Structure 1
Amino acid sequence: MSEAVEVATFLAAVTPERRHEEASVLDSLFREVTGWAPRLWSGGMLGYGTYDYTYASGRSGTFFATGFAPRKARLSVYIMPGYADFSTILADLGKHKTGKSCLYINKLEDVDTEVLKRLVRAGLEDLASRWPVTAT
């Protein structure tokens, strides 16, 4: 199965209907901001772009540069390597919670999608200043 078919199949299966619609909107948003097609990662995450990392500990790997997961309870938006430097953008975003590299949104209508676009761009720029980012 091609990656495009795999992504389309995954998006088509997202439930409930509201979350399915939000996932479609987010996919369009991420494609617009990044210019890249998504890749389905384990755990039901859609990733846009990749980067290779090596930590001081010697641990290394490849992960997606930005992306999201349409969970039943809420949407998870991933900005690598985290949200520490984005407090001014987050202040304008709307209702959300943050984890280390996760932004949690209960309903997409709770946030300003134009601000979310700015946040995704800023996250990619920050990541690219640390690790080379490759298109998917």
Structure 2
Amino acid sequence: MSAEVDEFLAGVTPAVRQRDAHALVDLMRRATGQEPVLQHPGIVAFGQYHYEYASGRSGDSAAAGFAPRKSATVVYLSDGTAAHADALSRLGPHTTGVGCLYLKSLDGIDLEVLEAVVRRSYETLTAGTFGQRAREAAD
């Protein structure tokens, strides 16, 4: 792991977020086969994918990642949380946005389910050029 990621993780507060961040680094490494890099502001990212929308807008983004925020850890699922509804129903305590999974703590979370969700999302995003926004995938 890079010194930049180590330094970022060392400064994460509260303590439960820091503990969970270290666990998520290990989980996402296994799920993606990638090493973490720090993206700003405060996102730990794994791999990249290319997207191109019908509008013509295109670019590259992290294929998997998380951000340990004070109120919750955000796990990014850029293919949309709706694509993982069945698995997320078995995950444990969480809330969702269109492309974000919010975890107050990994306590009570089925980490095997979380790893499978991250792996599936990563594989979907990196299979080729991804052409949907998370909100469109939910429709």
Q: TM-score, normalised by structure 2?
A: 0.87
Residue range with higher mean Cα deviation, 66-75 or 55-64: 55-64
Tell me the residue number matched to 1:68. 66
Whether the 8 Å contact between 2:50 and 2:128 is mirrored in structure 1 is no
- Measure the CA separation in 2 of the matches of 1:18 and 1:130: 36
Which of 116, 120, 123 is 1:122 aligned to? Answer: 120
- Measure the CA separation in 1 of the matches of 2:128 and 2:81: 14
- Measure the CA separation in 1 of the matches of 2:23 and 2:126: 25
Write out aligned runs for 1:23-42 (5 A): 23-42=21-40
The superposition leaves residues 38-84 of structure 1 with CA deviations (integer Å, 9 ceiling, x where unpaired) of 11111211110101222111211111001101111101001122112
Q: Which amino acid aligns with 2:53?
A: Y
Which of 9, 12, 23 is 1:11 aligned to? Answer: 9
- Structure 1 vs Structure 2 CA RMSD: 1.5
Shift of residue 126, structure 1, vs aligned partner: 2.1
- Measure the CA separation in 1 of the matches of 2:129 and 2:81: 16
Tell me the residue number matched to 2:109. 111
**How many pairs were matched up?**
130
Determine helix, strand or coil for the equivalent of 1:84: helix
Q: Please, which runs of 5 or more residues in structure 2 have no aligned partner? A: 131-139
The alignment status of 1:101 with 2:102, answered yes or no, reads no
- Measure the CA separation in 2 of the matches of 1:114 and 1:81: 19
Whether the 8 Å contact between 2:73 and 2:102 is mirrored in structure 1 is yes
Report sequence identity in percent: 44
Following superposition, which runs of at least 4 residues in structure 1 exceed 3 angstroms of deviation? none
